[in-house]
A and B are shown apart, each in its own frame.
Chain A
Amino acid sequence: MSDPVTPLNHARFDGYVTIAEAGPTGMITLRGDLADPHLSETLHGVIGAGVPARGRAEVIGDNTICWMSPDELLLMAPRSYVPDALARIASAMGDRHHLAADVSDARAMIRLQGRALREVLAKLSPADLSPAASPPGTIRRTRLAQVPAAILFQGPDRADVLCFRSVARYVFGLLSNAARPGSEVHRTAGAGNPEQ
């Protein structure tokens, strides 16, 4: 099989926050009734955890499960696992109302690393990105400049930005510009101001 080509070809920018495209990631959109215990059970079998709480993301080893909306989840796993996972979801869910689709090629994932990443993101989004409003483990769907994006806060100095593949270059440009050395603001609460 041919190798997957990531939207940005592993682009990287070293600013006061490091912006780098994450490697190929398998992504499955799963829609259905999130209150259905059968769905939760299926997820336990396929990915190792049930439906996360509203606005939260759960990391289980190499897999992540994100709450995207009241009827939508995003499953992230190694790319090679996606066909198997889809088959297992289809057989476990059977005729029950659900939709599972491989969206690995429809999205881009850009990783931010550095203590000031919340400041860089806050330059581009109207959302409250303070650690109090969005602690690690939160997935916040918002807007980066002109396009929708989801920010997955992984830890104090790491966040992943998910966006559509068609705007990957645009989002990478935005983030790189916002992280340009010399453009530090030192304003965001908890952004890790090195001078404090």
Chain B
Amino acid sequence: MLILTCPNCGIAADETELSPGGQAHLKRFGPGSDDSDFEGYLFLRDNPRGVHFERWRHAMGCGKWFHAARCTVTNEVFATYSAQTSEPPQDVLDRITARRPDWQS
């Protein structure tokens, strides 16, 4: 069972109150990009064993999107943070490094 604290409304929401949005911080390759970039953007996702950045929507709550950093092995949640960012904030990275010193972003 995963409990994520929504940074928008402050509620510690159960996994079943949320909708998963898949891997976070994707860079979009749209019209004009070459086929391999477009394929990578559209189809190819990381599937790490360990630290993972994800998008979630607080669907049965405030309805807002947010980001979460968690470990896919232990389900430890390192942080949840605003959706209005294209990369994880430094304090989130610091917190992950403190818990997983050998982790590489």
Which A positions have Cβ atoms within 8 angstroms of B?
54-55, 68-70, 72, 126-128, 140-143, 148
B18 to chain A, nearest CB (A): 10
B75: shortest Cβ distance to chain A, in Å? 16
Q: Given A126-B16, A126-B17, A127-B14, is A141 in contact with B8 using a C-beta cutoff of 8 Å?
A: no
Expressed in whole angstroms, the Cα–Cα distance for A127 and B61 within the complex equals 11
Is the pair B17, A55 in contact by a Cβ cutoff of 8 Å? no
Any A CB within 8 A of the CB of B10: yes
Chain A nearest Cβ from B34, distance in angstroms: 39
| Majority DSSP secondary structure for residues of A touching B | strand
A126-B17, A127-B17 given; A142·B60 CB < 8 A: yes
Interface: B42 (CB within 8 A): no
The number of chain B residues touching the other chain, given as a range, is: 10 to 19
B98 within 8 A of A: no
A167 to B63, CA, bound (A): 18
Q: CA of A143 to CA of B14 in the docked complex: distance in angstroms?
A: 10
Report if B11 contacts A (CB, 8 A): yes
Give every chain A residue within 8 A of B59 (Cβ-Cβ): 148
Q: Take A54-B9, A55-B10, A128-B12 as given contacts and tell me if A70 and B62 are in contact as well, using a CB distance cutoff of 8 Å.
A: yes
Q: For A143, what are the chain B residues with a Cβ–Cβ distance below 8 Å?
A: 16-17, 60
Give A70's nearest chain B residue, CB to CB: B8
Instruction: Report how far A126 CA is from B63 CA in the complex, Å.
Output: 17
Shortest B63–chain A CB gap in Å is 6
Q: From B61, which residue of chain A is reached at the shortest CB distance?
A: A141
**Bound complex: CA A110 to CA B63 (Å):** 22
Minimum distance in angstroms from A27 CB to a CB of chain B: 17
Q: Contacting B11 at CB < 8 Å: which of A55, A72, A148?
A: A55
- Whole-angstrom CA separation of A78 from B79 in the bound complex: 42
- A-contact bits for B56-90, CB 8 A (1 contact / 0 none): 00011111100000000000000000000000000
Q: Known pairs A54-B9, A127-B17, A141-B61. 16 more at Cβ < 8 A?
A: A54-B10, A68-B62, A69-B8, A70-B8, A70-B9, A70-B62, A126-B14, A127-B11, A128-B12, A140-B11, A141-B9, A141-B11, A141-B60, A143-B16, A143-B17, A143-B60
B8 to chain A: which residues have CB within 8 Å?
69-70
Known: A126-B14, A127-B17. A148 touches B9 (CB 8 A): no
Residues of chain B within 8 A of A142, CB atoms compared: 17, 60-61
Do the beta carbons of B9 and A55 come within 8 Å of each other?
yes
Q: How far is the CB of B53 from chain A (nearest CB, A)?
A: 22
Are the C-beta atoms of B60 and A148 separated by less than 8 Å? Answer: yes
- What is the chain B residue whose CB lies nearest that of A141? B61
Task: State in angstroms the CA–CA spacing of A149 and B14 once bound together.
Answer: 14
